[in-house]
Amino acid sequence: MIIDKTILINIVVTIIAVIVHGYDADIDEKFPIINDRVVIGVLAQYPYKDEHQYIAASYVKFLESSGARVAPIFCGRTSDYYETLLPKLNGVLLPGGGSPLDEGPYAETVDIIIESSKKFYDNGKYFPIWGTCLSFEKIIVHFLNGSLKWESQCHVQNLSLNLELEDSILQQKNVTANYHRICMALNEWEKHEELTKNFQLISHNKYKNYTFVSMYEHRKYPIYGSMWHPEKNQFEFVINEHVGNINHDRWAIIVAQYFGNFFVNEARRSCGRFKDKLDESQHLIYNYNDYVEYTGQNGKSSYEEIYKFPVDVNHGSSSSIPSSKGNRHDDYFRYQLMK
């Protein structure tokens, strides 16, 4: 078999030309790649009116296939939990989902993670964040100080699209899986100096009468967002009335793998460490195999597999830190336990 080198090089060169670390031209000198045993946190969803948190297994596989290990991060915990856990990690993947963007455990937890990443960077420590779909939107809300006035109802659901990048295979092929009803229109993006000044727009998409923002990166901090789901190309094969139009051809896989490799390589710039091997092992996702559910066969789920955690799940030393008195996360947490 002959590899189509011309097209492959075109893919890689184009993407590298787009994601160029606009926030720091001396990135390799300032934050060299020093860590080949990275652990990346994946935030669990904490939906309202439910008694569990969950992580789609495709996010875990997406990172593991690029050479990272994964530690779950739970919503609705005390500030001590995040202050203890985040410095040990090498970055965080913020997932898609359906939680509120402006209130509740998910929104509050993402705000903590973003501000922690910024603080780490300002203090000389690298801590990359990748936000997908819902979390792409949440990052926008965070930097717009909680505003939701930018939202457009575009309903780009169950659809693979290209990315508007000139002279790229990403423009020629429908390789991005879109599952979102909310969009930020390109002309709306351009109205907000908080965004245009602080973020580099990487790509946009066109769907019907909408032209919407689909990828960005922060100009200073290692914060990235994609409205589409790179993890779905490789690992989600469910077909039902809600999902199924995901491109799994070789170009879709190459593109998805590139972004996984890119983000994990960013995490290799991080010097975060657990205190010892026992501390590290207690936090890894491998401890949670009893919570894995095969949901792809039930006809309703969008995911092949999920980690479905009980609300009181308590693995890992950070999870067992005593609650801080008066923390409103704790009130919500106790309410869930009492239902």
Quick: pLDDT tens for 140-163.
Answer: 999 998 877 656 666 555 546 566
**Region 273-294: what's the mean pLDDT?**
95
pLDDT over 70 at 88, yes or no: yes
Phi first, then psi: what are they for 36, rounded to 5°? -110, 20
Position 287 scores a pLDDT of 94
Position 227 scores a pLDDT of 86
Position 329 scores a pLDDT of 36
Domain hosting residue 84, numbered range = 5-338
Q: What is the pTM of this model?
A: 0.84
Position 332 scores a pLDDT of 33
Q: Give dist(CA 251, CA 257) in Å, integer.
A: 10
Using CB atoms within 10 A of its CB, is residue 279 exposed (0-12), middle (13-18) or buried (19+)?
middle
Note whether 7 and 167 are within 8 A (CB).
Answer: no
At 279, is the pLDDT very low, low, confident or very high (cuts 50, 70, 90)? very high
- Listed in sequence order, the DSSP H helices in the chain are 5-18, 27-30, 57-64, 79-85, 104-122, 134-143, 169-172, 186-189, 193-196, 230-235, 250-267, 277-283, 328-338
**Region 76-103: what's the mean pLDDT?**
93
**Region 280-295: what's the mean pLDDT?**
94
> How do residues 121-144 score in pLDDT, each as one tens digit?
999 999 999 999 899 999 999 999
pLDDT over 80 at 18, yes or no: no
Three-state DSSP at 313 gives coil
Known catalytic residues? Answer: 133, 229
As a dihedral over the C-alpha atoms of residue 75, residue 77, residue 78, residue 80, rounded to 10 degrees, the angle is: -80
Note whether 43 and 92 are within 8 A (CB).
Answer: yes
Q: Say how far residue 226 (Cα) sits from the centre of its chain.
A: 8
**Region 214-227: what's the mean pLDDT?**
94
Q: How many domains does the chain have?
A: 1
At 87, is the pLDDT very low, low, confident or very high (cuts 50, 70, 90)? very high
**Region 15-37: what's the mean pLDDT?**
73
Q: Give dist(CA 116, CA 126) in Å, integer.
A: 11
pLDDT over 60 at 337, yes or no: no
Report which listed range, 30-34, 158-162, 268-272, 328-332, is most confident: 268-272
CATH (domain of 140)? 3.40.50.880
146 Cβ contact partners less than 8 Å away, ≥ 6 residues apart:
102
More confident of the two residues 106 and 19 = 106
Mean pLDDT of the chain: 80
More confident of the two residues 300 and 159 = 300
